[in-house]
A and B are shown apart, each in its own frame.
Chain A
Amino acid sequence: MKDLGCIALFALIVACVPLVTSSGVALNFTMMALYACLLAQAWNILGGFGGQFSFGHALFFGTGAYVQAIAQLQGLNPWLALPLALAASALVALFVGALTFRYGLKGSYFALVTLAFAEVFRIVSLSVSFTGAGVGLMVPLRASASNMQFASRAGYVWLVLAMVVVALLVTAWLRHSRFGAYLQAVRDNEDAARAVGVDPFRVKLAAIALSAALMGAGGAFYVQVFQYIDPGIAYGPGTSVEALVAAIVGGMGTLWGPVVGAVALHLLADLTRNLFGQLPGINMVIYGVVLVLIMMFAPRGIAGFGLPARWRRLRGKRNG
């Protein structure tokens, strides 16, 4: 219940942002930070709660993006294309998951296979025609709410906020449901989980499908905002890295960690942009440095740094 209350409060506050300000910079920041939250939360479901570190989550992002773009180019309404995009991402995830989990790949091996799958999809989408090959796909701009394209950033903020709220609700459900308990049991000790009757294969499969569907939503959102997708954006390592770093920096396996991580990284990226101007690669350098530093000094992330616990202790002392 507490989680639901927090999510409702978060949604309410963020939903008001476009009502208080019409500044393009602020709205753009809110939108991109929320979008990063969505990717991070998606990664967190499989990586944080399931303990399976995917280095190729762009696989699901790109699939969602391409399906969203192609369906629209075929004349389908974007609102109808969205479920297709989610389903396609989940389907790809089920395929990859069935292969890798069936053979018991974990840890570094799982990371490598997901990376390789993303790379295969990138190369294939560079060479086939229905993805527009290297040129990419352009979705025509027809701004109207029924077309899931908005004239102002405010519409996009609400759209991505809705997606983030769904991701948060899924995560909250993982924290309190039987399935979530199974998933965390598999993460912490697969053999023990199996011994008490959990089927690790099915649990991990469900987790990767959920995670991928949310990632696919991120891809679909990307296409709606930028009206363009190409193999490098879709399946390149950038998106995989962004999702993973934000989740880890914020704190894996927590509800708010990925949100905190995504916002913190975006603030940091904006700050450096203001300090050094727009330099290629500088954002990624910072992401990498932050990742290494977090691993060194706070391996459980910002949320796992123990601030709430410390605060509770402090409050407890005061009350007692």
Chain B
Amino acid sequence: MLEFGILFPAVLNGLTTGAVYALVALGLTLIYGVLHIINFAHGAALMLALYAVYMLKDKFGIDPYLAIVAVVPGMFAFGYALQRLVINRASHGKDENILLVTLGVAIVLENLALLFFKSDTRTIETPYTLATVAIGPAMIALPKLIAFGGALAVSALMLLLMKRTDLGRAIRAVAKEQQGARLMGIDVDHVYAMSFGIGLACLGAAACFLLPAYYVNPQVGSGFVLVAFTIVVLGGMGSFAGALVGGLLVGVVESVGGLYFGESLGQVGIFAIFIAVLLLRPQGLFGAKA
């Protein structure tokens, strides 16, 4: 057993990473809940957003946190168009087709990034990159703390949007009963595209919070995508609260697991959870019994 002085910072670190994971998973679970598809392009879209933040900083000197106002709407528009113009048209109403189409989109995005940016890993320098804050015996990097707060704030906004607005109601209606929603005069194709757009907008926010303490390369998304899937199945497909709790949980497992088994095997712990949950409790910890 490790001492509290080592374990505590690891848990805190895990929570801060977990909050960003939760944000990524929130977008994924929204798309799944409404469209009943698994968006394989989710990781690639996150990578795209990370590059957008990186370019804004590198070319125009825009602070990553300020970049939110550009990247979030940009990702939303990209998601809306992608669903409306590509995924919807190529799916012919079949789930397996959507699976393959999103895989195709992921391959294209990742390799376009490889083509334009090469496989170099890039980071950005900000005045606060190395700043730390002391919490009890732990020193936490300031950007990670901001990411934690930001991710929680965005998640809260998402929940409000779903609960309180007409759009949120329409999305929930389509998620529950697509036919009925159509009969009530809801434009289902529009709601699909809005959900996809909002899902990717979450990634835009995640990217802005992530980059100051993280890096970007063309493969960065694939690491996140399986983690995000793990969180989504852990929390229950389509459950927002589940995505939040699942995200924090996976962050802590990764961080503490890395402490005991080394970083790469800590990741295996995540996949082990993933496979075990899918096999034993596919409805997730919070999902209703299917």
A95-143 with Cβ < 8 A to chain B: 99-100, 103, 105, 107-109, 111-113, 115-117, 119-120, 123-124, 126-127
Q: Is A182 an interface residue (CB 8 A)?
A: no
Q: Is B62 interfacial (CB-CB < 8 Å)?
A: no
A197 at the interface (CB under 8 A from B): no
List of B residues within 8 angstroms of A287 by Cβ: 107
One of A123, A248, A281, A284 near B268 (C-beta < 8 A)? A123
Tell me which of B96, B111, B282 contacts A288 (CB under 8 A): B111
| B215-240 vs A, Cβ < 8 Å mask (1 yes, 0 no) | 00010001000100100010000000
Say yes or no: A123 contacts B267, CB within 8 Å.
Answer: yes
Given A237-B222, A292-B90, also A119-B271 (CB < 8 A):
yes
CB distance from B139 to the nearest CB of A (A): 29
Size bracket, chain B contacts: 35 or more
Chain A CB within 10 A, most for which of B37, B92, B107: B107
- B274 interfacial by beta-carbon distance below 8 Å: yes
Q: Complex Cα distance A108/B282, Å?
A: 12
Nearest residue, chain B, Cβ from A127 = B264
- Count residues of A near B (Cβ-Cβ below 8 Å): 41
Q: Which residue of the partner chain, among B86, B99, B118, B275, contacts A117 with CB atoms under 8 Å?
A: B275
Q: Say what secondary structure dominates the interface of chain B.
A: helix
A221 within 8 A of B: no
Q: CB-defined interface of A226-248 with B at 8 Å, one 1/0 digit per residue? A: 00000000000100010011001
- Residue A192 at the chain B interface, CB threshold 8 Å: no
Type the 1/0 row for B50-84, where 1 means its CB is closer than 8 Å to any CB of A: 00000000000000000000000000000000000
Mark interface residues in A207-221 (1 if CB within 8 Å of B CB, else 0): 000000000000000
B156 contacts A by Cβ under 8 Å: no
Residue B142, interface by CB 8 Å: no
Instruction: Report whether B110 and A108 are in contact in the complex, using a CB–CB cutoff of 8 Å.
Output: no
Contacts of A112 in B (CB 8 A): 38, 229, 233, 274, 278
> Which residues of chain A come closer than 8 Å to B118, judged between CB atoms?
280
The answer to whether B90 and A103 have CB atoms under 8 Å apart is: no
A279 touches B107 (CB 8 A): no
Q: Which residues of A contact B86 (CB under 8 A)?
A: 292, 296
B114 at the interface (CB under 8 A from A): yes
Given known A111-B38, A120-B268, contact A285–B108 (CB-CB < 8 A): yes
CB contact list, B117-140 vs A, under 8 A? 118-119
Q: Which A residues are in CB contact (< 8 Å) with B108?
A: 284-285, 288-289, 292
Residue A304 interfacial (CB < 8 Å): no
Closest to B261 in A: A127
Q: Contact at B115–A99, with CB atoms within 8 Å? A: no
Please determine whether A109 and B107 come into contact, CB atoms closer than 8 angstroms. no
Q: Nearest chain B CB to A252's CB is how many angstroms away?
A: 10
Chain B minimum-CB-distance residue to A124: B268
Q: How far apart are the CA atoms of A117 and B107 in the complex, in Å?
A: 19
Residues of A close to B268: CB separation below 8 A: 120, 123-124
Known A116-B271, A299-B92: A105·B279 in contact at CB below 8 Å: yes
Task: Give me 9 other A-B pairs in contact (C-beta within 8 A), A113-B279, A295-B90 excluded.
Answer: A100-B279, A112-B229, A115-B226, A116-B226, A124-B268, A127-B262, A282-B115, A288-B104, A295-B91
Interface residues of B (CB under 8 A from A): 37-38, 40, 86, 89-92, 94-97, 99-101, 103-108, 110-115, 118-119, 218, 222, 226, 229, 233, 262, 264-265, 267-268, 271-272, 274-275, 278-280, 282
- 27 pairs, CB–CB < 8 Å, chain A vs chain B: A53-B96, A55-B103, A107-B96, A108-B37, A111-B38, A111-B99, A115-B226, A116-B229, A120-B272, A123-B264, A123-B265, A123-B271, A281-B218, A284-B108, A284-B111, A285-B108, A288-B107, A289-B104, A291-B101, A291-B103, A291-B107, A292-B90, A295-B97, A296-B86, A296-B89, A299-B94, A299-B97
**A binding-site residues for B, Cβ under 8 Å:** 53, 55, 99-100, 103, 105, 107-109, 111-113, 115-117, 119-120, 123-124, 126-127, 237, 241, 244-245, 248, 279-285, 287-289, 291-292, 295-296, 299
The 8 closest A-B pairs by CB, nearest first: A288-B107, A281-B114, A281-B111, A288-B108, A291-B104, A284-B111, A292-B104, A296-B90
